[in-house]
Amino acid sequence: MRNFCTCLLTGCLLTAVLFAADSDKVLARGLGFTVKKSELDSAYRFFVLSQAVSGWDVPALMEDYFRKQMLDELILEKIAASRATAGDRGQAYITAMEGYNDLRLQYVSDVPFVLRVQAMGMTTNAYRLHLQSKALTQQVLKRELKPKAKVKEVDILEFYNENAGLWKIPENADIQQIVFFKLDSASGRRLNPDERAAKQVSAAKVFAKARAGVDFTQLAREYSEDMATKNNGGKMQIVRGMVDPDLSDKVFSMRVNKVEMLDTEYAFHIIRVVKKNPPSIRKLSQASGEIRQHLLMRNYIKAFPGYVSRLRQQAFVKLMRQ
């Protein structure tokens, strides 16, 4: 009986060990690295949760497709990390922190920001490391592909001449605005009449301060509910015909430096027109930087498949049977 129990216990332990080994098996290996199932599971979980937070459910039928893509990305991240220089790592850290801080600034405080990150299945520190890993891969690829993606001045001129319509700038205006939304910030529901009336009173008080000469930038930072422009003093550019017609008509009928209040369907706007700009055409000197970046990206995309294929060959990448 004792021997039977010993054999049974040994069998259970062996089964557990084999199950654990199989549950985190190696999916791919290369020169100096492996990619394990747990890494792919973690990446896929983050992808699914981050899409859910953005309001999109990943179809179950597409799981295999996305997992294959992510396995390729994980392999590339491992290869890139092995080729990274100190300069690459430094720039990747800066880029990752900029991305992290940009997301943080979209929230009024740390609490909703942390909840957003946790909803994606990560701690804030893990999220920073995730961004840094992605940024490092991009930095290595950018550095190594740069010689193959070089843009010539003649290419910039040719693109400018062939796309004349892109350089037409319609009438626009630089404005500052303070926004009081007629929607509940938490649920997105429309405010009831009493709530709208209270919001209008609040907007009117700030409007009176702006008309009295109180610094508009400071008022916007203190009172505006538009998180996209609040921190920069409510500054934005309005293009005629490209925004709410009521807002567009109001802005282009106002005098420069005049402060007025506008009631639209979704908000009360306190507006100051800083500058009006007539229609114009961007000169080559003004557009060359943008064209260069466009052509550079086009050349990167063209060179990318062959470059990645060579990296995988040099790293002796092998996909394991699953």
**pLDDT tens digit sequence for 91-141:** 999 999 999 999 999 888 899 999 999 999 999 999 999 999 999 999 999
Distance CA 297, CA 122 (A): 31
Listed in order, the ranges of the chain carrying CATH 3.10.50.40 are: 171-278
Predicted local confidence at residue 275, as pLDDT: 96
Predicted local confidence at residue 108, as pLDDT: 80
Pick the closest to residue 216 from 232, 202, 227 (CA basis): 232
pTM exceeding 0.75: no
Burial 90-117 (b: 16+ CB within 10 A, else e): ebbbebbeebbeeeeeeeeeeeebeebb
Residue 300's H or E segment, with its range, is: helix 284-314
- Please check whether the domain covering 2-149+304-319 is classified as CATH 1.10.4030.10: yes
pLDDT bin (cut points 50, 70, 90) of residue 157 is very high
Q: Three-state secondary structure along 161-203?
A: HHCHHHHEECCEEEEEEEEEECECCCCCCECCHHHHHHHHHHH
Q: Which CATH architecture has domain 171-278?
A: Roll (3.10)
> What letter represents residue 56's amino acid?
W
Q: Is the pLDDT of residue 164 over 80?
A: yes
Listed in order, the ranges of the chain carrying CATH 1.10.4030.10 are: 2-149+304-319
Residue 258's H or E segment, with its range, is: none
pLDDT bin (cut points 50, 70, 90) of residue 10 is very low
Q: Quick: pLDDT tens for 267-280.
A: 999 999 999 999 99
Residue whose pair of structure tokens reads 């060179």 in the numeric block: 303
